Structure 1
Amino acid sequence: MYFSTALSFVVALGGLATAVPTPAGLGAPGGAPGGAPGSPAPYSIPTDDGFPTPSPDQLLVIQQIADGTLSNAPPPAKLNESSFPVFQLIAFNENFEVAFFSSLLHNITTGVKGFDDFPNKKKKMELVDILQTVLAQEKLHAINAIKTLTNFKAFAPAPCKYQFPTTTTYEAIALAERFTDLVISTLQDAAQTVARNGDVGPVRGITSSMGQEGQQEGFYRIVLSKKPSEKPFLTTNVAAFLFSNLQQYIVPGSCPFDLKEIKLPIFPALQVLSGKGGVDVPAKDQKLSFRADLSKSAAADAYVGKAEGLYVTYFSGQLLPISVPIENVKWNGRVASFDAAFPFIKNEMVGLSIASLTTKNSFAAPGEVVGATLAAPGLIQVDDRVKSWDGF
C-alpha cells in the first residue's frame, strides 16, 4: 500500500484523524528524562555525541545517522554583520529542535506513559528510525549555523534548558508540525535578508535546509491526516516573530548567555483563544478571539485602555499583510482581550496564518510589520484534514 508507513502511524497513535492536539504553550512540560510526563523538570540536550561541538569522529556518526554530511564548500569570503542575527536565530531554533526531538525519542524509547501507544514493536521502531534521522539532521543544521558564526568570530548561541507542552506522542507530532511550519516560513525571511545584505553565498544552504524542513512537514501532516502539501506558496514570516515564539519553550534564565546578544526584538505573546488555541480553526469567515498581556511593553503605553487604532495583521501565503481592526476590546489593566475578523474566503487562508497586534493597517511588505507590532505571533491553523484516508 502506498503511504503505508504514514498510515500505520495514524492507526498506531490512536486515531489521529479525530484526536485534538494540545495547543503549543498549554499543558505541563513533558519529556524530562527521569521524570513523568508533566514533570516541571527542565530538559537539557544530551552531550554524549559532543553536540553542539562534536569531534571529527562524533560528527561522522551524526552524519551517518542524518543520511548526509555538512557541505565541504569553503565558507563565504565575507558575511555582513547585519546578517549575523539570521544565523544566530537559526542556531537558537535548531538547538530547540534538537532538544525537542531528543526528548521525544527518550520518551518513546523508554516507554513513558503517553508515548507508548503503539500496536507493536515494529511500528514503534519505524517512528524511532524516522525521528533519529530527523534529530541528526537538526543537529547538522545547528552545527552549520554555529560554524558560520564562529568563522566570522560572531556570537553563537549555546543550548538553553527547555520545557515542552506535550504529554503524548500525538501531541508531540502535532507540535512538531506546527513549529516546523513556522520555521519554513521564517527561513524565507532569512534567505531574503542575507541576499539583501549582499551575502548571496549562504542562500543556497538556507534554501536547501528549507526544503528539508518541508519534507519533514509533509510527513507530520500525513501522520495528522492532513494533505501533505499545505498551500501552493507557503506562508511567510519574519525573524522576530519566530524568536518571540520560541521563548515559551525556554526555561526562564536558563540560557548561558544574554538573549540580547541576538539583535532581534522579543514581543509579548499574542494568544489565539479560538479553535483550541489556534489549532483546527474552521475553514470559513469568522471572528477570532485573542488576548495580549502588554504589561512589559512600553510601546503599548499610548494604546492601553483604548479601542481605536489597533489591528490584527495576518501573514497568509505570499499575500501582502492583511490587516483588520480589532473589535469588542476589553482591558484588564494592561491585558487586552479582543476579537478580529478572519477573512478566510477572500484570501484562501488554508493552513498556517500568522497574526500580530499592530498599530498600523497598511504594509507594503512583511518586514514593515515588525516596527508596528505590539504582540506576536498568534499561530492559526485552519483545519484541512482529508475526509477519508485510504491507501492505494
Structure 2
Amino acid sequence: MYFPTVLSAVTALAGLAAAAPFQHGGPPGGAPAGAAPTPFVIPTDDGFPNPSPDQLKVIQQIADGTLSNAPPPAKINESSFPVFQLIAFNEQFEVAFFSSLLQNVTQNVPGFTLPDPKKKDELIDILETVLAQEKLHAINAAKTLANFNQFVPVPCKYQFPTSNIYEAIALAERFTDLVLGTLQDGAQTLARNGDAGAVRGLTSSLGQEGQQSGFYRILLSKKPSEKPFLTTNVAAFAFSALQQFIVPGSCPFPLSNIKLPIFPGVSVLSGQGGTNVEPRDQHLAFKVDLTGVSAADAYIGKSNLWITYFSGQLLPISSPIVNVKWSGRVATFEAEFPFTANEMVGLSVASLTTKGQFANAPEVVASTLAAPGLIQVDDRVKSWDGFKL
C-alpha cells in the first residue's frame, strides 16, 4: 500500500492553510460558500456509545481486538476520575471525526475523492478499523467511570475545520500527537495517585495512538517517528483544545462536570496557523483573546507575560513576550522560539503564562492565562513520491 501516491492525484484540490471551515459530515458537496458548517452528530446505528453485547461484538471484530476481560481495579483515587472523563470526552470527539471522514471518503464528497477505486477501498478499510478502535477506547473509559458510579460524558455535536482529505489527515496527526502527550500526563496522574492497576490499559492505548500518528505522518510525507521522546502535554490544555471542535452549548451536560479548567486558545499566527514553521531560531507571532478571563485583569495592557513551550521531555521553556499590542482584552505579540538550543522538531505546545520558570509541565497550569497553541516543525522526507502541503 503506497498512500502518498494515492493522495497525490488530488493535490490541486486545496492546501492546508487555504480552506474555510467545513463540516466533514455535512451533506455531500458541503455547505454553500459562507454558510455555517452543519453540526455533526455521531451515528448510533451500532449502538455507540452504549452498544448491546451483539453490537459490541461487531465493533470488536472491525477493531481487530476486544476490550480487556480483566477485572477493573478494586479502587481508583477520586482525583484520577478526570483522567478517564477526559479520555471518554476526547475519544467521543475522535469517533465523530473519523465517522465524518469515513462518510466523506465513502460518498466521494468533493475534496475527499480518490481516483483509484482500489486505493479508496484500502483507505476505507483502514478508517473503519481506526473508527472501531476509537469506539472501544471511549467505551473502556466509560466502563471504568460507570464501575465507580462516576459521571460519564456522552457525545456532543461537533464541527471540524477541514474541507479536503489533506486537511483531515493533517488535523488527525495534530490531535493524535496532542493526545499522545496528554496520555503521558494521565499515566503520571494515575501513578502519583497510586492507581497502578489502570496504567497498563492506558499505556496500551497510548501505543495504539502512536501507530496511528506514524501512518498519518507517512501520508503527509513526514518521517513516521517524530521525536525520540514525544512532546508532553497536560489534561487541562487538551480539554481546552477540544472545545474548538464542540458546537457551543451542544453537550447534553455541563462541561463543569469534568473537573478541568478551560482556557481560551493561543492562536499561532506564524507559519500556516502554526503548521510548517521553519526549523530555525525566530520570533513567532501569537494572538490571544482574554475576554472573560478574570485572572488576566492585572495584565491587560501590559507586557510582563511569557510564552511557555512544551517540547519533547524538556522542562518547560519560557520566552518573554515582546512587541505587544493590545486592543481591549485582545493581545497580539511575539516571543522567541529557541529552536536550535532545544531541537524543537515536531510538536511544541505553547501557553501564555504569568511567570517564566517552572519545575515541570503540570506546574504550568496554575500560571496559565491561555492555552494551547500548537506549533509544528517538520523534518520531512527528503525524497518522496507524493504531495506537498
Specify which of 307, 314, 329 is matched with residue 309 of structure 2: 314
Residue 28 of structure 1: aligned partner: 21
Residue 244 of structure 2: aligned partner: 248
What do residues 125-183 of structure 1 show as CA deviations (whole Å, max 9, x unaligned)? Answer: 11111110000000000000000000000001000000010110111001000100000
The reply to whether residue 97 of structure 1 matches residue 74 of structure 2 is: no
One-letter amino acid of the counterpart of residue 70, structure 2 = A
Tell me by how many angstroms 1:35 deviates: 5.4
Number of corresponding residues: 382
Residue 78 of structure 1: aligned partner: 75
Specify which of 337, 344, 349 is matched with residue 332 of structure 2: 337
- Distance in 2 separating the partners of 1:8 and 1:48: 34
Out of 163-172 and 28-37, give the one that drifted further: 28-37
Tell me by how many angstroms 1:307 deviates: 1.5
- Distance in 1 separating the partners of 2:343 and 2:76: 38
Out of 380-389 and 288-297, give the one that drifted further: 380-389
Work out whether residues 330 and 337 of structure 1, in 8 Å CA contact, stay in contact via their aligned partners in 2: yes
Specify which of 161, 174, 190 is matched with residue 165 of structure 1: 161
Equivalent position SS for 2:358: coil
Residue 352 of structure 1: aligned partner: 347
Work out whether residues 243 and 264 of structure 1, in 8 Å CA contact, stay in contact via their aligned partners in 2: yes
In the superposition, the TM-score normalised over structure 1's length comes to 0.95
Tell me by how many angstroms 1:62 deviates: 0.3
Specify which of 132, 138, 150 is matched with residue 136 of structure 1: 132
Tell me by how many angstroms 1:15 deviates: 7.6
Tell me by how many angstroms 1:30 deviates: 1.7
- Cα gap change, 1:96/1:233 in structure 2, threshold over 3 Å: closer, same or farther? same
One-letter amino acid of the counterpart of residue 99, structure 1 = A
What do residues 325-344 of structure 1 show as CA deviations (whole Å, max 9, x unaligned)? Answer: 00000000000100000000
- Distance in 1 separating the partners of 2:143 and 2:250: 23
Work out whether residues 10 and 225 of structure 1, in 8 Å CA contact, stay in contact via their aligned partners in 2: no
Equivalent position SS for 1:274: coil
What do residues 297-325 of structure 1 show as CA deviations (whole Å, max 9, x unaligned)? Answer: 000000000112x0000000000000010
- Distance in 1 separating the partners of 2:306 and 2:15: 29
Work out whether residues 272 and 379 of structure 1, in 8 Å CA contact, stay in contact via their aligned partners in 2: yes
Specify which of 116, 121, 141 is matched with residue 117 of structure 2: 121
Tell me by how many angstroms 1:13 deviates: 4.4
- Distance in 2 separating the partners of 1:379 and 1:230: 15
Unaligned runs of 5+ in 1: none
One-letter amino acid of the counterpart of residue 49, structure 2 = P
- Distance in 2 separating the partners of 1:48 and 1:122: 26
Tell me by how many angstroms 1:384 deviates: 1.8
- Distance in 2 separating the partners of 1:365 and 1:20: 37
- Distance in 1 separating the partners of 2:69 and 2:10: 40
What do residues 75-109 of structure 1 show as CA deviations (whole Å, max 9, x unaligned)? Answer: 00001110010000000000000000000000111
Work out whether residues 35 and 41 of structure 1, in 8 Å CA contact, stay in contact via their aligned partners in 2: no
Runs of 4+ in 1 over 6 A off after TM superposition: none
Unaligned runs of 5+ in 2: none
In the superposition, the TM-score normalised over structure 2's length comes to 0.96
Alignment of 1:172-211 (within 5 A): 172-211=168-207
Tell me by how many angstroms 1:386 deviates: 1.4
Work out whether residues 284 and 344 of structure 1, in 8 Å CA contact, stay in contact via their aligned partners in 2: yes
Work out whether residues 282 and 336 of structure 2, in 8 Å CA contact, stay in contact via their aligned partners in 1: yes
Work out whether residues 244 and 266 of structure 1, in 8 Å CA contact, stay in contact via their aligned partners in 2: yes
- Cα gap change, 1:15/1:228 in structure 2, threshold over 3 Å: closer, same or farther? farther
Work out whether residues 63 and 132 of structure 2, in 8 Å CA contact, stay in contact via their aligned partners in 1: yes
- Distance in 1 separating the partners of 2:96 and 2:17: 19
One-letter amino acid of the counterpart of residue 30, structure 2 = P
The reply to whether residue 50 of structure 1 matches residue 43 of structure 2 is: no
Residue 382 of structure 2: aligned partner: 387
Identity of aligned pairs, percent? 71
Tell me by how many angstroms 1:389 deviates: 1.8
CA RMSD of aligned residues (A): 1.5
